[in-house]
Structure formats: structure tokens, C-alpha cells
Structure 1
Amino acid sequence: MDPSRYLSHLPSISGDLPPGARAFATDADHYDFRSRRCVKDLTLRAVRGVGGEEMAAEFRHNCWKHDQDLLIRYAGVSGFVIDRVDEGRGTDLGTVILDEILPHRYGCSHEIACWDGSLTFVCRDLRATWVEAICSSES
């Protein structure tokens, strides 16, 4: 849950990341746990396009922390793994703990660790977009 090792390594690898991945990984708010644009505490809502070259991961906000949902679009996907602690939970991996984006021979890898499993994408590049969310008791 501590990004400090990754963050100390990030300046030496950020130049090797594709442009969209680099922008997302080096965004000052990404690993600031107090920021509304920190990925920690988001919840995976859906993964779209499984098996295709274009995929998307939709993350739902946490009303106590975020006012936006996160949509990550992956282009040129060459690998995808979902590793669940409990196979019966489907895409319910619990909340996001931490993520890491690393250079890969095909572009980049993006591993997202959650309380109950993880997702790993290997792709040419990714684009992260924060989308306005409505916080309510039904959200």
C-alpha cells in the first residue's frame, strides 16, 4: 500500500513509457492518497472488450474521497490477466490499493492491485480519463 519504492523508481523509467501511460503515471495526484484523483479506494465497475485489442476498465468513485469515476482505455492490448482471490466473485475485486505502470516491450504494463485480486494489462498505450460522478446513497 506504500507507493514510495515505485515513485522513487518512476523518474528513471517514465521516459520509456508511452505518452498516455507516462501522463497518467506521473500525474502528481495519482499517488497522493488525499487527492480526489488518487486511484486508491476506487472500485472496479467493469472491464470491457476482453479478448480484443481495445479494452477499457471502468472504476467507480468512493463518495468519501472522489467526485469522479475513472475510465482507462487500453490500446493495442496484447495481454490481460485478472487474478481473483475468490473465483466466485467475478469482477468484484474490492477497492483499489495501488497500481503500477511499467515499460514493456509492447508498450507498457499496468497492474492494478485490489483487496481481493488484481488486474494486469499489457498494451501499446493507455488513456486515463476522469468522468464526473454523482454521489448519493444509491451510488
Structure 2
Amino acid sequence: MQYVDLAARVGDLSGVVDPAHYVSHLPSISAALPPGARAFATDTDHYDFRSLRCVKDLTVRTVQGAGGDEMVVEFQHNCWKHDRDLVVRYSGVSSFIVESAAGDRGTDVGTVILDEILPHRDGCSHEIAGWDGTLTVVCRDLQAIWMETACSNEA
């Protein structure tokens, strides 16, 4: 099966992204994903734009451990859509790439549009696309945790 680069597709977007193509292929690739990645990728709320557990409209708050074997990416909720923040813990990290659409913005990729988790020879790759760039983490496995938070109405 061939996969189209998420960043390339996002670069051509105008309006809302429909993750239906990726979701339709999930059943055929999910068995090849490590357990934590499989649980997150196949969660029925993950790609439902109306769900409180959809990654769309989150923002990257912090990236910890970049360049190391263990990484943590914290995503901040959007008060009008989410009631929790998302924390993704990556183990056995073999690659971390940030691609910015407009200059060097560090790990600020803007508001998340969507993400894809794909099988990789090292475990899985997790690509997070935002309006202003992408983050890609290749790792042995990941664990996604939705954390309680208080909405500040500043998001």
C-alpha cells in the first residue's frame, strides 16, 4: 500500500480536511501498529471532528526530550471544542522532524488539522499536521493520554 505524504496533502488544502481516506485504510494497517499507537489511531473519536477527543483544533504547547530516546508532546485544548489536553509520550524515538511552512517557528505548527499514525520499520510514525507546518515522530510506540484541564477561555 502506498501512503501519500500528509504534509504534501496539507499544503494543497483549502477549507476543511476530510480524513476519510486515511480512516478507510486503518483496518488494513492497524495490526502492524504497536499496541499504544494502535489504540490511539483506532479510537473512534480520534477522527470524528465533532468529538471531544478529536485532535483537530488542538495546539502544540510543549515538546520535551527532542533528540532523545523518550519524548513528550503536550497539546493544549481549544475551549470551544475540547474539555481536556492531550499528552503523547513516545518511547524508542528514532527520528523527530519539524517542517515549518513559514520560516523557523520552532515546534509551533499552528492549529492541528489532523494526524496520521502509520506502521514503520522502527515501530510507527506519527505525523501531526498544523496550518503552519508538521511534526513527525518515528518511535517504537506511543501512549496518548487525555488530561483533565480547566478551560481558561483564552484559547
Q: Which amino acid aligns with 2:67?
A: G
2:75 is paired with a residue whose SS is: strand
1:60 is aligned to 76
Choose the corresponding residue for 2:65, options 49, 65, 69.
Answer: 49
Separation in 1 of the partners of 2:55 and 2:144?
A: 11
Residues in 2 aligned to 1:132 and 1:39: alpha-carbon distance in whole angstroms: 15
Runs of at least 4 residues of structure 1 off by over 6 A? Answer: none
2-structure distance, mates of 1:117, 1:88: 10
TM-score where L is the length of structure 1: 0.97
Aligned to 1:31: 47
How many residues align? The count is: 139
Match of 1:21 in 2: 37
TM-score normalised by structure 2 residue count: 0.87
Match of 2:22, as an amino acid?
Y
Q: Which residue of 1 aligns with 2:153?
A: 137
The offset of 1:98, in angstroms, is: 0.6
C-alpha distance in structure 2 between counterparts of 1:122 and 1:38, whole Å: 21
Inter-partner Cα distance in structure 2 for 1:87 and 1:52: 24
Aligned to 1:80: 96
Over aligned residue pairs, what C-alpha RMSD do you find? 0.9
After superposition, what is the alpha-carbon deviation per residue over 1:78-104, rounded to whole angstroms, capped at 9, x for unaligned? 011000112342222111001000000
Q: Gaps spanning 5+ residues in structure 1: where?
A: none
1:17 CA drift (Å) = 0.2
Q: Is the 8 Å Cα contact of residues 112 and 129 (structure 2) preserved in structure 1?
A: yes
Question: What corresponds to 1:111 in structure 2?
Answer: 127
Secondary structure, aligned partner of 1:10:
helix
Preserved CA contact (<8 Å) 2:107 2:135: no
1:10 aligns with one of 23, 26, 29: 26
Distance 2:40 2:57 in 1: 17
**What SS does the aligned partner of 1:119 have?**
strand
